[in-house]
Amino acid sequence: MADLSVRVGALTLRNPVMPASGCFAVEYAEALDLNRLGALVVKSVSPDARAGNPTPRVAETASGMLNSIGIPSKGLDAYRRDVLPAYTRFDTPVVVSVSADTAESFGEACETLSLPEVAAIEANISCPNLEADGMAFAMQAESTYKAVSAIRRRTSHPLWVKLTPNAGQIALIARAAEDAGADAIVMGNTVLGMAIDVRTRKPKLGNVMGGLSGPAIKPLAVRLVHQCHRAVRIPIIGCGGIETADDAVEFMLAGATAVQVGTASFRDPAVMGHIVDGLDAYCGANDVERIATLTGAVALDAQLSDRWLRFAQQSG
């Protein structure tokens, strides 16, 4: 049996597999042993109560799905009282995901949730920033720095910052999160998308636009993880279209220390257990003693482009 443990900042996880926030709830305990996972990442909570978006909230796409759930929330008190205890009963670190409208309320919410039973806080700064006309904090390096700094001032808990694939210049944004004190980066979130029913001419989502997830976005997410890996020293948790152990290994080779599994659980509620088993099998088959050594181990040939250019010139 290979050593599947990984370190994300100060936190040691028994293996690199955890659910993605929004695609996980304690109901999966009926289909899967939650004590086998690396961490439990709970659905995002926002300080203000909100009902979520109108239905339909989900639409199928090629090798993926669009969703516009809208982070329904009953606020922090109800979350701590009614939601969190269901997750902290397991022998697995619990990560709370927080979403807020302003940098200040982000900081307040993360302070409130810096509880002893919470192992880490994931700040979902991919959500709309009311101070910038609804543009997500993580769309720009400056607003990323501001939001993460505001949170860092209010908590000493391990802080993971979830970035968005919708941003350009991801290296600058990742570096801004690191500079502001993030302990890890979660890369990434859903990709903004839209689908229309050609018969009714109506958008397929009640909220018109939504987030694309699933295997359709995996190459995009692997690229972003790799770019972040080149830009920062803090660990990266890869996320986007992971369905198999090979997918998880691919993210680790690109630079991820751990991975989050989202949409795949909707197709097979036991899939995270299969991925853990598959990682062990991969290590066994490939003589990998410690899975942590896979992080960033993509075989890059730094001179390839130079040699190719010379070859191309010779060939006329």
Question: Which residues would be at the binding site for another protein (CB under 8 A)?
Answer: 22-31, 33-36, 43, 51-52, 54-65, 67, 69, 72, 85-87, 89-91, 206, 214, 265-270
Which residues are CB-neighbours of 247 under 8 A, at least 6 positions away? Answer: 218, 241, 259, 275
In the complex, what is the shortest distance from the CB of residue 73 to another protein, in angstroms, rounded to a whole number? 11
The active-site residue, picked from 127, 228, 239, 283, is 127
In the complex, what is the shortest distance from the CB of residue 207 to another protein, in angstroms, rounded to a whole number? 11
**Distance in angstroms (rounded) separating the CA atoms of residues 10 and 38:** 14
**Residue among 31 and 172 whose Cβ is closer to another protein:** 31
Q: Judge contact between 137 and 180, C-beta under 8 A.
A: no
**Residue among 142 and 277 whose Cβ is closer to another protein:** 277
Outline where the chain has alpha helix (H). Answer: 76-78, 85-88, 103-112, 141-154, 170-179, 218-231, 245-254, 264-267, 271-285, 304-314
Work out the end-to-end distance of the chain between its first and last CA atoms, rounded to an integer number of angstroms.
53
Was 278 annotated as part of a binding site? no
Was 162 annotated as part of a binding site? yes
**Distance in angstroms (rounded) separating the CA atoms of residues 95 and 97:** 6
283 as an active site residue: the answer is: no
Q: Judge contact between 191 and 211, C-beta under 8 A.
A: yes
Was 68 annotated as part of a binding site? yes
Was 189 annotated as part of a binding site? yes
DSSP 8-state class, residue 83: I
In the complex, what is the shortest distance from the CB of residue 159 to another protein, in angstroms, rounded to a whole number? 25
**Residue among 161 and 276 whose Cβ is closer to another protein:** 276
Was 275 annotated as part of a binding site? no
Amino acid, single-letter form, for residue 169: Q
DSSP 8-state class, residue 21: T
In the complex, what is the shortest distance from the CB of residue 42 to another protein, in angstroms, rounded to a whole number? 11
Was 190 annotated as part of a binding site? yes
96 backbone φψ class: left, alpha, beta (φ>0; ψ -120 to 50)? beta
Residue 200 tokens, joined = 């009714």
**Distance in angstroms (rounded) separating the CA atoms of residues 302 and 279:** 28
**Residue among 77 and 82 whose Cβ is closer to another protein:** 82
Strand 6-8 and strand 40-41: the pairing is unpaired
In the complex, what is the shortest distance from the CB of residue 60 to another protein, in angstroms, rounded to a whole number? 5
The position carrying tokens 């006329």 is 316
**Residue among 27 and 287 whose Cβ is closer to another protein:** 27
In the complex, what is the shortest distance from the CB of residue 63 to another protein, in angstroms, rounded to a whole number? 6
**Distance in angstroms (rounded) separating the CA atoms of residues 310 and 307:** 5
Was 70 annotated as part of a binding site? yes
**Residue among 14 and 43 whose Cβ is closer to another protein:** 43
Amino acid, single-letter form, for residue 300: L
Q: Which residues are annotated as catalytic?
A: 127
Binding residues for FMN: 21, 43-44, 124, 162, 214, 240-241, 262-263
Binding residues: 21, 43-44, 67-71, 124, 162, 189-190, 214, 240-241, 262-263
Binding residues for substrate: 43, 67-71, 124, 189-190
